Amino acid sequence: MRDVHVSAIVDAVKKLCVGANLELEPDMLRAFDRALTTERSPAGRQVLQILKDNAQMARTRRIPYCQDTGFVVCFVELGQDVHVAGGGLYDAINEGVRQGYKEGYLRASIVRSPLDRVNTGDNTPAVIHVDVVEGAELKLAIMAKGGGCENRSKYTMLTPAAGIEGVKDFVIECVKMAGPDACPPLILGVGVGGTFEKAAILSKKALFREVGSANPDPTLDALERELLARANRLGIGPQGYGGDTTSLGIHVLTYPCHITSLPVAVTIECHAHRHKEATL
Amino acid sequence: MSVTAAADGLKDVTTPLSDADVESLKTGDRVRITGVVYTARDAAHGRLWPLIQEGRPLPIDVCGQIIYYTGPSPARPGEVVGSIGPTTGSRMDKFTPALIKLGLKATMGKGARSQPVKDAFKQYKGVYFGAIGGAGAVLSRFVKRVEIVAYEDLGTEAIRRLEVEGFPAIVVNDCHGGDLYQDGIQAYAREET
């Protein structure tokens, strides 16, 4: 067994939260540049340029890229030969969020109950998903998930007869429904298969793949390319002002499913796609 | 007159706004806003709502004003404000027609508005400005002063009085029935293949 002390987890999560909010990842900056070469709409090109400027200003002036500094979603890959020492894993992640959001001047956007809606004041708790894997490493992947786009995420239970065409139509319908509200250009995470909750979790996990990278499964890669081309023919464009850049990437993950089922979950992510990873 | 056409093709908007100012704004106009803008989002609207329904005074006089849907991130020491981009306007659709009827002239956010909101813009002369969602760092540079004027306990959702200079926005819904989002899709949508 290898000991990983909770203090290292707190520090790592704190840095990931601050870094994600102030420094947009290079995959997104490259995606903006690619879009600037294909976007026909002058208003769309102007928005893309402002988003690039915004990323630059956030980085240099240490001010969040977006005022909605997100709900922290943390995917943990916990090596089965790791012993978390000095406290609880979940407490350590939440302490990292607390310290990162305080010290980084990030917004507290979480209410303690969806019903009484009192702000917790420190952006905790995070949503934490843990997978136990082989090995002696602890991998932390965090996303600062914006609320406006999350509100446009959707779920459906298709019939097996609906098939892949049904999946495609549902994803495109989701892009249409998200429209200008979810801050396009969008990234879509699509989870297909599994059970109700499995598809939803896959749709989040899919967002962590590098934007613009190929899906390692050739069938899914072809599906993603077709969906992206269709989404970008809708005309919604950057900020919904009209244009060719409605989505910068559509990522699909699948899981085996029941003979009766074809669950499809779509997480909608905005251009403030703040994701960062660390391995301890 | 507080809407003037500038040489660069943009319109300079100075608050407060009159009916005539609103009428001169057209969907697709790019504007620079200068003057006072109030912030309010979900929780603040939730507190204003019973006051509006009971005909009681509001903590701010909305006549001629702009409400900006935003909850800024905290300011670093020495800074005026943190990141301050728009939030989704449709969540305020329930409250907007009543506020427009009370004399509010403009709202600013991102994303589409409901038909009742657009109808209220037509009937009572109102306008919806779109600010660039997710450009909160850039937009913070146009905010020169910030003061909390109501509901301080709501934190980021408190009502703030902003003084802005040249704040960039675009007219999404004008008082003539125009809708930038519909125009945009019409102009750029391509046949499904």
pLDDT, tens only, B112-161: 999 999 999 999 999 999 999 999 999 999 999 999 999 999 999 999 99
Domains and CATH numbers, chain B: 3-188 (3.20.130.10)
What pLDDT score does B191 carry?
A: 73
- Vertex A215, ends A213 and A219: CA angle to 5°? 145
* Residue A154 C-alpha, separation from nearest chain B C-alpha, in angstroms: 17
Each residue's pLDDT tens digit, A26-55: 999 999 999 999 999 999 999 999 999 999
* Nearest Cα to Cα of residue A225 among A191, A255, A250, A197: A250
What pLDDT score does B192 carry?
A: 66
Q: pTM for the whole thing?
A: 0.95
Helix (H) or strand (E) holding A231: helix A218-231
Of the residues B139, B171, B185, the best mutation for testing chain A's interface (the one with the most A CB atoms within 10 Å of its CB) is: B185
Percent of chain A at pLDDT exceeding 90: 100
- Which residues in chain B touch residue A63, judged by CB atoms under 8 angstroms apart? 73, 76, 79, 82-83, 136-137, 140
A112 touches chain B (CB under 8 A): no
**Could you tell me if A54 and B134 are in contact, meaning their C-beta atoms sit under 8 angstroms apart?**
yes
- Which residues in chain B touch residue A240, judged by CB atoms under 8 angstroms apart? 110-112, 130, 180-181, 184
pLDDT band at residue A210 using 50, 70 and 90 as cut-offs: very high
Segment A238-246 shows an average pLDDT of 97
Bridge partners, A276 (sequence order) = A142
Of B72, B90, B138, the CB nearest to A50: B138
Residue B165 has pLDDT above 70, yes or no: yes
Each residue's pLDDT tens digit, A91-130: 999 999 999 999 999 999 999 999 999 999 999 999 999 9
